[in-house]
């Protein structure tokens, strides 16, 4: 049953009809590029930025990430300076991701997307990244998605469910007919707050709110969606 009403006042659904995917860490791994760009930015301000700190930025917007990094470095900046720093970091990041290739797609991604597409599921991207279009183009994944919702289309960051609710609405399905694929705690929380199922990509001990947790899309089949 499809419904374009934003209120989504439908009874519980017995089956999943739409799949909403985070990008970084689920379909591709761009964390290394974010890390290199943020580290370079931190270094220009006289302090370092660790991989452990980078993990805490999963699913977090660029502005919020910058605020966290400045706090870690004990640095204060004006709003204008923050805008300039965020733009500088993004420029370095874009330079790196424009060199990405389909070889950087995570294992099992293409096979799984192909299988669920053939099975009739509708697919949407739900990412905080404002560079999703570039990444999907360079990795040859764009054609799988019926709708793309990214950081350019939403105002609230995960764990707010806005990005996923927007995706569900564009696809024409109620939240309880959707499953979200996420590698970040904030992303899984966003899915659950939005009334959706969540499949975590990562560690069970971390993604404890997820309905199912696997190490990667290579561990999933269409049957797993049917059994949610």
Give me the phi and psi of 19, to 5 degrees please.
Answer: -120, 125
- For 195, the token pair is 């009334």
Counting DSSP H helices and E strands in the chain, the numbers are 9, 6
- The active-site residue out of 3, 22, 48, 146 is 22
22 is catalytic: yes
Helix (H) or strand (E) holding 125: strand 122-126
Q: What Cα–Cα distance (Å) separates residue 183 from each residue in 24, 197, 212?
A: 8, 14, 12
Is 137 annotated in the active site?
no
182-63-37 Cα angle (round to 5): 80
| Catalytically annotated residue among 24, 79, 146, 218 | 24
Could you give the residue numbers annotated as active site? 22, 24
């Amino acid at each position: 049953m499809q419904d374009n009403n934003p209120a989504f006042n439908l009874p519980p659904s017995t089956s999943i009809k739409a799949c909403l995917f985070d990008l970084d860490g689920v379909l591709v791994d761009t964390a290394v590029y974010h890390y290199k760009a943020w580290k370079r930015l931190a270094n220009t301000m006289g302090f370092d930025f660790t991989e452990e700190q980078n993990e805490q930025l999963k699913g977090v917007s660029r502005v919020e990430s910058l605020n966290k990094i400045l706090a870690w470095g004990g640095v204060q900046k004006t709003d204008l300076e923050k805008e300039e720093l965020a733009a500088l970091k993004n420029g370095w990041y874009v330079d790196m991701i424009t060199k990405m290739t389909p070889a950087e797609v995570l294992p099992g991604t293409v096979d799984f997307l192909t299988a669920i597409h053939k099975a009739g599921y509708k697919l949407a991207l739900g990412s905080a990244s404002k560079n999703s279009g570039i990444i999907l183009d360079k990795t040859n994944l764009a054609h799988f998605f019926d709708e793309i919702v990214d950081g350019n289309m939403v105002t609230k960051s995960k764990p707010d469910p806005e990005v996923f609710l927007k995706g569900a609405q564009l696809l024409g399905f109620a939240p309880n007919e959707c499953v979200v694929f996420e590698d970040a705690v904030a992303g899984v929380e966003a899915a659950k707050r939005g009334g959706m199922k969540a499949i975590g990509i990562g560690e069970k001990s971390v993604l404890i709110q997820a309905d199912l947790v696997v190490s990667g899309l290579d561990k999933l089949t269409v049957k797993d969606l049917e059994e949610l």
